Structure 1
Amino acid sequence: MELTGEQLKEAETQLKRYLPRSQQVYGFLMLRNRVRSDPVKIFVDSWPEFKVIVCKPQIEQESDLFKDIFFFAKDETILEETLRNPSVIDWNRYLCLGFDYRHRDLFEAVASEKDAPSKQLSVCHMMTLEDVSNLPFIDSSGISLSSLDESHVGLVNQMWKFGNNDGAFRMLRDMITHFPSCCVLDAEAKPVAWILVYSKCAMGVLYTLPEHRGKGYAKVLISTMSKRLHAEGYPVYCFIEEENTLSYSLFKSLGFTENPSYRAGWFEFNY
């Protein structure tokens, strides 16, 4: 069944009990229940007690490659039934699915049965700042901070490792338009470093233009965004790709910690 209205708020409350494994869906519902964004349908296997919850974005164009369907499951048997339900997952079209990496074998097995070739996009550590007071003091004097606006989408899309395409452009525009962002401005009021917030409330797309690196901008941005999210009642966390040891060390140095029991995976099917 699809959740609406007050059910979405109740689901948010329930998901909090299952952190960190429920963090993606929990963070998504926290933002969705407070901020307007692109339309998404939320499905559960039953209500009010549910074993599986699915967040399914509305796909408007075939190039919407970054609108991932993502899941939280308390019961893998029910998750398997959900994956086989054609009204929930259409295995005949392109899919980008995000899930707890421990379910990888199940997703790949069902995809194989459906003749849907799969490709791993990324596997990430989830790092959380449990206490904002753990942030070290970072001197931001002399640094001009602001928020990004729609005129900056093209620049961010061009520099993002997954960007420089129409699907990423639309996703980044939605993020910049609706969710918190922070950037460092140069003397001409142009962004030279930035950080955004994904629809799951995770910080990401952290980037500094090459000619402005080595000035500590990333630490300033992470610290500033962390304090803002905390002040507004949101979880403070991010996903770091397993091979990105530099970013892992950066966030760890700022007080973020990883729960090794959880990893997040994103896979393409019918790519």
Structure 2
Amino acid sequence: MFHLQGPQLLQMLEKSLRKSLPESLKEMADDFDHYTNTYQIYSKDLNNCQESLTTLDVINWKQRLQIQSSQSSLNEVIQSLAAAKFAKVEHTQCILYVMPETARKLLPSLPETKNLPVGYGPPKAINQEMFKLSSMDPTHAALVNKFWHFGGNKRSQRFIERCIQAFPTFCLLGPEGTPASWSLMDQTGEIRMGATVPKYRGHGLISHILAVHTQALDQLGIPVYNHTDKANKIVQKISHNLHHIAIPHGWNQWNCEPL
């Protein structure tokens, strides 16, 4: 280790470090893009967590952002930090599901994992003459944006395009040659955007595509999980049928906006 002296050496160091930043941090340049400005937090020591987040300026509170965690106990810490940074916070709690193979590997202590079927069952049968398995294309982002509950704007469409370009995606193309049902991941590794166009609902397409997506990710060694609103009974029923396991403390998100 050596001490840097003079502004020129410091500028060289800064330039070098910026080249090594994860792409996710380089993309957090739009102060109003809360889709990309996302933080995930887990801490065994809430006091230490608050001190670290306060002193190290890990979070850019000048942006619209979201914080995600499986720990609802972080609420007091985040609310306190946001108040100190003059930010408005909205806390949402949802059901967090982990897929069977991921649960068996990473959460063997959960009682629910003891009764899981071994291996993968076949995806729900569909009309394979009518629907063809494919991957998503960035040009499909507008369609996904239209049906995503949290989308419907330019920033969400740009976010969806990036997710399609960066992560494994699956869809079923309908007779028109466009996606009838799809499953996408976001930058946190979660299966986040899945839907079926109204015309083809009731054919079991989303159950089929989720099973295919889950198996593909597991074979790549990627933990598979997703969350859903407590009022979304349809997704809960699909998750139950696919033997997804609900994690006890659920999924928490804090949407933060500077005042």
Say yes or no: TM over 0.5: yes
User: More strand per residue: 1 or 2?
Assistant: 1
- Check the 8 A contact 2:95/2:250 in 1, yes or no: yes
From 31, 53, 60, the equivalent of 2:29 is 60
Instruction: Provide the residue aligned with 2:124 in structure 1.
Output: 138
For this pair of structures, how many residues does the alignment match? 218
The match for 2:84 is: 113
- TM-superposed CA distance for 1:136, in Å, is 5.5
CA shift, 1:81, in A, is 1.0
Gaps of 5+ in 2: 1-21, 102-117
- Partners of 1:94 and 1:202 lie apart in 2 by 21
The percent of aligned pairs where both chains have the same amino acid is 23
The alignment partner of 2:41 has SS state of: strand
- Match for residue 149 of structure 1? 137
Q: Which residue of structure 1 lines up, in the alignment, with residue 256 of structure 2?
A: 269
Give yes or no for the alignment of 1:79 onto 2:66: no
Match of 2:157 among 161, 169, 182: 169
Amino acid at match of 1:62: D
Structure number with greater Rg is 2
Q: 1:201 to 1:90 in 2, by over 3 A?
A: closer
Secondary structure in 2 matching 1:73: coil
Cα distance per residue 1:98-154 (max 9 Å; x no partner): 22222112211222233322123x322211123372545522351311000111111
Note the aligned Cα RMSD (angstroms). 2.2
Tell me the secondary structure at the aligned position of residue 79 of structure 1.
helix
Q: Quick one: distance in 2 between partners of 1:95 and 1:137? A: 36
What is the letter of the counterpart of residue 206 of structure 1? G
| Equivalent pair of 2:97/2:246 in contact (CA under 8 Å) | yes
Q: Which residue of 2 aligns with 1:192?
A: 180
1:198/1:249 Cα in 2 relative to 1: closer, same or farther (>3 Å)?
A: same
TM-score, with length taken from structure 1: 0.74
Between 88-97 and 240-249, report the one with greater CA deviation: 88-97
Unaligned runs of 5+ in 1: 1-37, 42-56
Alpha-carbon deviations, 1:175-199, whole Å to 9, x = none?
1011011111111211111110122
* Cα pair 1:135 1:255 within 8 Å, conserved: no
Distance 1:236 1:138 in 2: 19
